[in-house]
Amino acid sequence: MILTQEIKLVRVFLASPGDLANERRLAYDAVTEINKTIAKRLGYMVDLVAWEDTAPGAGRPQAIINKDLDSCELFIGIIWKKWGTPPDNEGIFSSGFEEEFELSFLRRKNTGKPEMAMYFKQVASEILADPGDDLKKVLAFKDKLIKGKAILFNEFAEPSIFQRYVREKITEYLFSLRDASLQTQDEAHVKPSARNTSNATDTISSLTLKDARTSFLHECEVTWKLSEHTIRAYKRALAVFCSEMDEHTAIKNIDSNIINNIFVAYLRDGKASHSTIKLRFACINRLFNWMVEEGHIALNPVDGIDLELKIPTKVRKNIPYEDLVKMKKTAYSELGAVGVQICDSDSLSNLIASKRDFNKFTAVVVLELLISTELFVNELTAIKEEHIDLDELRLKISGKGQRDRYIRLHNSKSAALIKCYKDNRHITKPDHSYLLVTSRGEKSSPQFIRKLIDKLATKAGITYKVTPAMFRYSGKMSITDGPD
């Protein structure tokens, strides 16, 4: 997709001590809403920056945070009862918040940026009557703002009011940027030489790696609507990549040699599998492809890099017959059912004295059904009691696309095993009709089934990983072939 307008990144710094977590979360929610609505239509994207977003690094922690502070053009401060802790032992500031505010205020006096707004959360009168040291510092700071008359502030009682203030302030600031941009364009038409080259906001082509990552992930989530799983994978891959170099590097200065050296290092240290490295490579390639498509860089530096990744062959698909027998013997042994006739429902029921025993019984039933029916695991967990016809020895299966089909049980022993399971599932107190349940009475999930099979295989002494899908390639095995 090629945008018809230039998207400009507007960085906003959120400063506050640690007693306003809810308000900080609401501020992030407000920015997400703004980015999805008004910001993009105006040609902007807002990046809310706070101390928790700063990447770790060597040096004084507050100094690292201040680097992010210096790149922001709108400062939003919020404070309540706590003043915060000193950022270091020998500095002139009594808290990290104070340092962030004073540095921003000084930069504003010298350069006109950043725009600044302060918000005070109201304090209960009984607390004001006996303020502690922290609150005294907050009140002194508030008096300083009142006397200085340089920074306007608002007060609020409820977090939702603060969220509205943040939404209004950022929206107002975006419109002021848009108006200034339109005025500049008008002046350029009249006198091209007088074109305003102000860099109040950075275009994506001049963004740092960190900002490009933010823009790309926003595009993945909001425009392309990629799955949560893919977004998480991209975030991890980009975080690792950015940790290998200075994330303040301009994106246009990253060439193929830099990227190649990073991935060669991944291969040499052996900490990540080839599959993981391949995923990281694909993510970085997509990032730079997007930058090319948007017209912000001319060439993708990933093009032409050949890592010679050798992805290991996949694990075996089937389970040998002798291993199936091992798993069956182990399952029945764990339940204490070796030598018990499957068709003897009373004998089986006597073995289930607790919820823990019922989990072992679930493992037996799951194993028998996987072996004898070759069902997909999601089909297995979707079986309900009303889907079972023991007289006709068949199960109703809901497959993909809600298409139903019937499969036959091999014999009366299969029916007896399922009947015994149905008769005893009440031990877990389920409130649904799904056949397979956990010890807490919840519907068995595919992940629960996978864990049961994995544990059973381990106890059976099988050294390779066994998954439910492998039973489909292992050949049917009748329940009559149970352990001796």
Of 167-181, 206-220, 232-246, 329-343, which range is least confident? 329-343
What are 188-222's pLDDT values in tens digits? 555 444 444 344 344 445 667 887 888 888 888 88
The SS3 assignment for 433 reads: coil
Q: What is the pLDDT of residues 293-315, one digit of tens each?
A: 876 677 888 887 776 655 555 55
User: Could you give the dihedral angle defined by the CA atoms of residues 215, 218, 222 and 225, in that order, rounded to the nearest 10 degrees?
Assistant: 110
% of the chain exceeding 70 in pLDDT: 83
Q: Which domains does the chain have, with CATH numbers?
A: 8-195 (3.40.50.10140), 206-293 (1.10.150), 321-481 (1.10.443.10)
Lowest mean pLDDT among 30-34, 61-65, 151-155, 164-168: 61-65
Could you tell me how far CA 69 lies from the centroid of its own chain?
25
Lowest mean pLDDT, pick from 159-163, 221-225, 407-411: 407-411
Give residue 348's pLDDT: 67
Helix (H) or strand (E) holding 484: none
Whole-number average pLDDT of the chain: 82
CA 67 – CA 234 distance, rounded (Å):
25
pLDDT above 90 for 77: yes
* pLDDT value, residue 93: 84
pLDDT at 308: 65
Is residue 83 predicted with pLDDT exceeding 80? Answer: yes
Residue 49 half-sphere exposure toward CB, CA atoms < 13 A:
25
What per-residue confidence (pLDDT) applies to 300?
Answer: 84
> What is the full DSSP assignment across 319-367?
--HHHHHHHHHHHHHHHT-TT--TT-HHHHHHT--SHHHHHHHHHHHHH
- Name which residue leads in pLDDT, 480 or 33: 33
* Pairing relationship of beta strands 44-49 and 74-79 according to DSSP bridges: unpaired
Would you say residue 425 has pLDDT above 70? yes
Give residue-wise pLDDT tens across range 126-172: 999 889 999 999 999 999 999 888 888 999 999 999 999 999 999 99
pTM of the model: 0.42
Mean pLDDT within 167-179: 90
The beta strand positions in 30-73, using DSSP E, are: 44-49
Mean pLDDT of 317-344: 79
Residue 476 sits at φ, ψ, to 5 deg, of -70, 145
pLDDT tier, 368 (very low <50, low <70, confident <90, very high otherwise): confident
At 394, the pLDDT band (50, 70, 90 cuts) reads confident
pLDDT at 24: 92
CA distance 123 to 281: 51
Give the percent of the chain with pLDDT over 90: 29
The H or E element containing residue 136 is: helix 133-148
Q: How far apart are CA 75 and CA 15, in angstroms?
A: 8
Confidence of residue 432 (pLDDT cuts 50, 70, 90): very high
pLDDT at 296: 67
In terms of pLDDT, which residue wins out, 291 or 60?
291
Res 140: pLDDT: 94
Residue 339: pLDDT band (50, 70, 90) is low
Confidence band, pLDDT 50/70/90 cuts, at residue 401: low
Average confidence (pLDDT) over 84-113: 86
User: In the predicted model, is pLDDT for residue 385 greater than 80?
Assistant: yes
Average pLDDT over residues 260-289: 86
Q: Give the lowest-confidence range in 100-109, 170-179, 211-220.
A: 211-220
Residue 364 near residue 358, CB atoms below 8 Å: no
Nearest Cα neighbor of 39 from 174, 159, 134 is 174
In the chain the first and final C-alpha atoms are separated, in Å, by 64
Q: How many CB atoms lie within 10 A of CB 30?
A: 22
Residue 340 confidence (pLDDT) above 80: no
- Is the N-terminal amide bond of 312 cis, ω within 30° of 0? no
pLDDT value at position 4?
Answer: 43
How does residue 123 score in pLDDT terms, banded at 50, 70 and 90? very high
Q: Give CB contacts under 8 A, 24+ apart, made by 339-348.
A: 342/413, 342/416, 342/417, 342/479, 342/482, 343/412, 343/413, 343/416, 344/416, 345/416, 345/419, 345/420, 345/423, 348/417, 348/420
Between 191 and 103, where is the model more confident? Answer: 103
The number of angstroms, rounded, from the C-alpha of 204 to the middle of its chain's C-alpha atoms is: 24
Mean pLDDT of 440-452: 91
